[in-house]
Structure 1
């Protein structure tokens, strides 16, 4: 595969291991024209490869998306479907110029509605190509898929129910199994455990970014996140215990906006006492997961938090997860009693499985990577939280789901 790597400009402000421009073209004439344009415009960190949009999709599943991308639709039998598949693997905010052989006004309009910045018909014209590239770089607000990261908020209704463990495991699943760029945000800024769970060291500066919107910029992930692997990043903090912490979160909106533009998924681990200060974040979440245990206090507090989320007018789906659940023989409450306490059903249960936790610890891997009952149950939650799961699959008796694990 012929690849052109250019370093015509200094590395200032360029993200690590990320091409700033990529092109996938299926013919030599277009390839040479794009190479000439890259040299003329001094585009740094550019990669030009031989291949159509299917090659682009396969490669961008494994590497970071560039801010600007050219893809070739010449051999595509279903261009819109391929563009949607490309949008699924690209990071939010990527601008795409499509090229192809169909001179079709209908196709052009469909591609524009899908978020493509421009569509150029082969043979390419140097002047039109340059105009398309420059217009994209100058900030025309067209982005493939027109999406930002899906945000999920995990909150334990009282201490020790395992909300942080579930959040970390599900973030790991999004990155390792779905191969999607994922950020885990631990908002327990003094005693959060997300970094410990994923064997990473927190980077200083998160508290300042959340307090002051001026501390957030386009390199927020590179500056403030601990990199677990190529697709998983943890925002954590070990703020000194004696230091007072403002809970105003004045910088939260700007911070989340930047992170969500650079990821496919954001998983937030929210301490329950910060529900009110972080209300705007919770309102913007696609899914809010309340984690409880099957105790009287747990059920009481779950009902109160469900009510509070309703009062905050949160439009996202609210899921209730009973973690560390005993088997049916030692269950303290009947299903009817649980429903009466909550005013609703529990959506998922995760078994109290000591062996699964011990095995995961010995392997040095998150629990979700295993094959125990608890691992399978957490994977089912991950599917639902990701937006891919079918809600109908989770219906049925809580006790039946425990017995059938």
Structure 2
């Protein structure tokens, strides 16, 4: 089997047992993968893996039939970057069949074998022979993505930053304000570089909220994608704080902003190589590029106010994101402007019940704090560091960076909120 590429993974655990581990994996580069399966129990998780967002760049083709089918297929066709083979054969038969297949394999092609015999001796024999990995059925989708990632993603490569996308269930619910304040909290709490990308090119408010007036910003990058690299992106950034930088939107209407689905893809990937934390301020719209941005982000945060139209829109977003991101955690939900005087509201428990979500945070209606911060181009933590709402922003920053778990929170200033609700009923 000298024709099979040597790529032993003895020092890497190939089994990814849960989705939390799956989320830590880097995207697989643009490679071709062909699988030959004998059972639906293996073909189905392979199909699910091919649809995972970390495998977006790969081209996967699944055939039914094991190693004999692969031998027949590759006798007249070139081999791809990776061949995945399922075999129920005995260890001796398996080694013999792989020897026949090796005659048709390109030296650069890698091979993963999924067998039905938990045999240490067989595993060692296959690894010595040049098989990249031997897995024992049954397998999960996460197992497959983990193994493929381990084979093709360079562990010595620069880390890819974590992306968090914020979108409002309706316009005016405060999604951008929350995104900007959480980005500021991340930069101050964790001494980590944070980049904010204001993707609302026509009406973005990040430049106002951060009191910036940059001559260039994200528009220059999206209209000249061929120029985008780390150096060019760095020239477009406005420095908002010691560890916080901004790709500002032009916020002008002198041209239209109609883009295709991949328009921001290169910008986001370049930004993730430049900063460990990337906050995406996504406008309330449903286009091919907003859909693509939300489907590929590491975390998604939906901000809503406790009203019926917000509930309907949130439900639609949650349902769609579950289809687009079947192997990821559901989006986070923030209820904002809760307790507005004289406004009829849906109770938090009633709001989240049809969504099947836990609320990440409940933020009370505090027009003076938010208004003063907005009018002065300051963050909430700069205006009143002791405010309970600032504590809520800190909690959300911890959760979204994986430093804390979601826990039941009554929300900042809940006693004040209850009193307001009582007064509103009078």
Place the TM-score, normalised by the shorter chain, in its bin.
Answer: 0.5 to 0.7
The answer as to 2:222 corresponding to 1:210 is yes
The answer as to 2:376 corresponding to 1:367 is no
Gaps of 5+ in 1: 1-139
Map 1:202-281 to 2 at 5 A.
202-204=214-216, 206-238=218-250, 240-248=252-260, 250-274=262-286, 276-281=288-293
CA shift, 1:163, in A, is 0.5
Count residues with an aligned counterpart.
262
Distance 1:307 1:180, change over 3 A: same
Distance 1:331 1:380, change over 3 A: farther
Partner residue in 2 for 1:188: 200
In structure 2, which of residues 387, 396, 401 is the aligned counterpart of residue 381 of structure 1?
396
The answer as to 2:297 corresponding to 1:285 is yes
CA shift, 1:339, in A, is 3.3
TM-score (norm: length of structure 2): 0.55
Distance 1:316 1:297, change over 3 A: same
Distance 1:298 1:368, change over 3 A: farther
Partner residue in 2 for 1:162: 174
Partner residue in 2 for 1:323: 336
Q: In structure 1, what is the Cα distance between the partners aligned to 2:355 and 2:203?
A: 30
Partner residue in 2 for 1:346: 359
CA shift, 1:185, in A, is 0.4
Q: CA RMSD in A?
A: 3.0
Q: Is the 8 A contact 2:306 2:347 kept in 1?
A: no
Distance 1:376 1:248, change over 3 A: same
The answer as to 2:162 corresponding to 1:147 is no
Find the structure with the greater CA-based Rg: 2
Distance 1:242 1:389, change over 3 A: same
CA shift, 1:377, in A, is 1.5
The answer as to 2:213 corresponding to 1:201 is yes
CA shift, 1:290, in A, is 0.2
Q: In structure 1, what is the Cα distance between the partners aligned to 2:262 and 2:347?
A: 44
Partner residue in 1 for 2:346: 333
Partner residue in 2 for 1:19: none
2:300 aligns to what SS in structure 1? strand
Q: In structure 2, what is the Cα distance between the partners aligned to 1:362 and 1:261?
A: 33
Partner residue in 1 for 2:41: none
CA shift, 1:340, in A, is 3.9
Stretch moving more, 185-194 or 327-336: 327-336
Stretch moving more, 306-315 or 318-327: 306-315
Q: In structure 2, what is the Cα distance between the partners aligned to 1:389 and 1:331?
A: 33
Q: Is the 8 A contact 1:352 1:374 kept in 2?
A: no
CA shift, 1:341, in A, is 4.2
CA shift, 1:311, in A, is 2.2
CA shift, 1:263, in A, is 0.5
TM-score (norm: length of structure 1): 0.58
Q: Is the 8 A contact 1:293 1:322 kept in 2?
A: yes
Q: In structure 1, what is the Cα distance between the partners aligned to 2:365 and 2:357?
A: 22
CA shift, 1:352, in A, is 1.0
Q: Is the 8 A contact 1:157 1:298 kept in 2?
A: yes
